[in-house]
Structure 1
Amino acid sequence: MTVTLPFTASNGVTIDRDLEGDLAASSGQYLGKDAEQAFRELFAAQHPNAHGLHRDSRFPEYIFIRQHRSDDGDGRAVGVIDLEQKEFFTAWENLNRDSRERWIIAGHAWLDANPDPAPWMDAKPGEVWRLTTKSEQSNENAWRLESGAFMFDDGGFVLADEIVAGERIWPKADA
């Protein structure tokens, strides 16, 4: 959802930019209680996925929330909140793929469109990974730099979006 300024929160406080381009609340408060609530609503409207809640324009009656703890042999799980019926369901990516239930179809569509991020995307600076890249298609050791890139033993660099497979080799996962 795109949010434009001025923005009026549910408490009636309007947020807009002042002459210097700073955000200002109509209440005259910078971070008073009313202005704080208005800013929170503004930021929530600008970033609806910040709390793990997701929307899909193809299924406007649902909100989706990834349920990592429910992943099992049936695959990844997603919670499906039906806003119209006020019900909550869980859909698994490999279960009931032939269902005609709209919430299950919506859950599968959301899971298909939102794969979990690759593990190397969360690599920390200093970790060593064995990586396979799109261009080389070979395993090479690389370590994560502060910049977010990976550096190979020979001094070459690769960005995370060029990696097709990876395994952390240091420190060990159980360390």
Structure 2
Amino acid sequence: MPRPFKIPASVLVVIHTRELEVLLIERADRPGYWQSVTGSKDAIDEPLTDTAMREVAEETGIVIGSPAVPVGNLRDWQLRNIYEIYPVWRHRYAPGVTHNTEHVFGLRVPRDVPVTLAPREHLRHEWLPWREAADRCFSPSNAEAILQLPRFA
């Protein structure tokens, strides 16, 4: 059965501590490309909050709604980025789809929260002060979101 096309609506989740350290993860398919948690909706009607919770769990093993990470620690920052999908990843979308709408969330976690990466997606993770994290990101929209962290934390 052919794989369905990705939906051009996604989330970007800036995972951070109270002290404004940011969790970055390195892509397995592009070593040296560091980012926050990202991912597309699985279904048109999937609520964005559910997408964010699912992607965080899949990519980092962090379960939102656990005693350490209450649901209230996930915040929709009400920021939207519309960007052109990198040509290398455009084949994942329906023909003619060239842009994605990214919805930005923040998630506050304790610094000692266990991180378990999905090995097929990510190689390593690091906690960095927010400015350093922004500088490390390959995606301009991800870097800009991290630079907004003090405003939303």
* Higher RCO by CA contacts (8 Å cutoff, separation 6 or greater): 2
Larger Rg: 1
Question: If the TM-score is normalised by the length of the shorter chain, which range does it land in?
Answer: under 0.3
TM normalised by structure 2 equals 0.22
TM normalised by structure 1 equals 0.21
More helix per residue: 1 or 2? 2
